[in-house]
Structure 1
Amino acid sequence: MKRSMKPKISGKNLYKIFGNDPSMALSLLSSGKSKDQIYETTGQAVGVHDVTFTVVEGEIFVVMGLSGSGKSTLVRMINGLIKPSAGEILIDGMDVANCSEEDLRNIRREKVAMVFQHFALFPHKTVAENVAFGLKIRGVKQAERRERAQAALEQVGLGARADSYPDELSGGMQQRVGLARGLASEPEILLMDEPFSALDPLIRSDMQQELLELQRSLRKTIVFITHDLNEALTLGNTIAIMRNGAIVQTGSAEEIVGSPADDYVSAFTRDIDRSLVFKADSIARAPGTIDIGSNDLSSAIARMEQVGADAVHVLDGDRLAGVITYQAANAAFRDGMTLESVVSHDFPTASPQARLFDLYPLAGAGLPIALTDETGRLTGVVRPQDVFRQLAGERE
């Protein structure tokens, strides 16, 4: 399923100055002074510096940066917890930086929920009561609160633990309760501020996969904050990398790792396992094919020479029938054999969304890997040498 390209959240020329005279700091920024120079001169801190971004409906937009980069300030501006010093931030076209208090309350009540790093569960309340707490504050009746809390717990796999208490749950389970609490209000947008960073690595990895599974069915718009690049690459449809309050690069995981914008991003991505980032369609080529019903060995050899390939795939109408290599075709041609007799039906195939990690063993066969869609139709090919070139970080 393709994601919508409709903007859900957007920020334009956002600034946040922490101090008693933001206008002075903004003036110094416009004159080219650095964040450190402004702090030394005025004692004011630049939290966010001229940030512009767009989050499309239904995507996971990950904001990644080290401590002090401005990422948590940015996410708190989205739901109005922090007011920008300058700029606008729109949710469905409404500027939450400059709207009325009533409009802001309605946005928080109807559109946005936040999941924090620390679980902040009430130890004396049951899991279901914790999940339903926000609904209780909003005046939702008890029966409906319980129903919606139970539904949210089912979504995160904790339906059977509704009447347990927080101290009876593991850390991962407690974080799932926090996620269920956000889901219970049925928001359109989830803001997640380093929600998994306090978890053990294995539990953290499990939670990342559970969030991805949940997103496949719920299709929420998620803004996810993290300081961990691997987590960003795992979760993000789009990733924004922040440094010193500014966004230094925005793109997909493949764009961030494959074409880092500067030395700062390059240093982050240097040790990333490229086989887990790049997908087959990122290095796919248009398939060179012949039709078994209208070609012979001579035309098959000519086709391979035309496209500069050691092998081409053979089609039987719309059906992928096999592959033939240049070496086998020439040998068969000399021996007077037919095209059908040398077509190999044992050849590697993969999904266009397969990771290079999954293609690596297939590339060992030396044959082009056929990329096929859900119906089995050939959409592209990946040459073994392109797999190895991408893993090595080489450009053709």
Structure 2
Amino acid sequence: MSMPTIRHIRALTIRGGGADYHDQGSGHWIDDHIATPMARYPEYRQSRQSFGINVLGTLVIEIEASDGTVGFAVTTGGEIGAFIVERHLARFIEGQLATDIEKMWDQMYYATLYYGRKGVVLNAISGVDLALWDLLGKIRQEPVHQLLGGKVREELQFYATGARPDLAKEMGFIGGKLPLQHGPAEQEDGLHRNLEKLAEMRSRVGPDFWLMYDCWMSLDLPYATKLAHRAQEFGLKWIEECLPPDDYWGYAQLRRNVPRDMLVTTGEHEATRWGFRMLLEMECCDIIQPDVGWCGGITELLKISALADARGVLVIPHGSSVYSYHFVTTRHNSPFAEFLMMAPDADRIVPMFAPLLLDEPVPANGRMKVPDTPGFGVRLNPDVRTQRPYSR
């Protein structure tokens, strides 16, 4: 059978949940007084949506092959990402063989180098790349994990990110990652409240359950160092993304500063093999956390993972649902995965990208077998209203 070529690519947008998981209604834990780089301004401290964390919305990429097969993927990028895909990236995709993913990635990246490299441009490239892998899996009638070389483990185990690690323990997760609520602008009182919250959760979950703090780029080096040392008595397993993503020097120093048995993790907002090479060569962290929908897609994540594997550093992707599950199940240096608790009160398990995807798998008792359905194994929900703002 001859390999189909790509006939058409479409970029769609939606609002409310989906891949832009910060785009939630009021009262959701994910927007409730979480420390951010903008928390230095009191008017932007209570809600992350107040400074625009949800302005982009979800980007959906559909790619149709000459035999009628359609692959798709979702990421964050909204209308800006849709413009980049339709008006710039499409020329490198349409007419190509569905197998030529490496070439298409290379052309998208180098063609956008003068205004891209990271951020929304890489989100858009990532979305296209994931849709290409989904398409190829459907053409070959194989799950993406098989295209990547096959599973090295039959079952994934998860930690949960959300406001209620105590409930996550009851649901069978191996650990719980809390959002840090108070940053340097709230001084010693805020630090005390962070430690109180950690102490409360440790008393609820017992001594052996993992507890971590997600600091979302909100701290400076002195505050992060102080938090790490004062959190040591409560058994904090790791301290995550404390500093701005470009402060490689700060991360390297923080890793030297923290208690010996505490891990430093970061990489959620890093992109490409070159960004992660900096983190690895400067020994900035113990675990890297690329988001496959933001770092460059599966094609780039494979390169990032190889760099980390050569240095003995774990790769635990940030969120990203099925798009990371198919990767994690094929890699020895990705021994567990993250699950974002997207119920408003973090008190029950719901699909991470609901309501956007159908057949999206969720953990049961903290574990999951990645489905063997072709592609990434999910469908776009036809009841979700999409728009195509830049049709050609």
TM-score, length basis structure 1? 0.28
Query: Based on CA coordinates, which of the two structures has the bigger radius of gyration?
Result: 1
Question: Higher relative contact order by CA 8 Å / sep ≥ 6: 1 or 2?
Answer: 2
More strand by share: 1
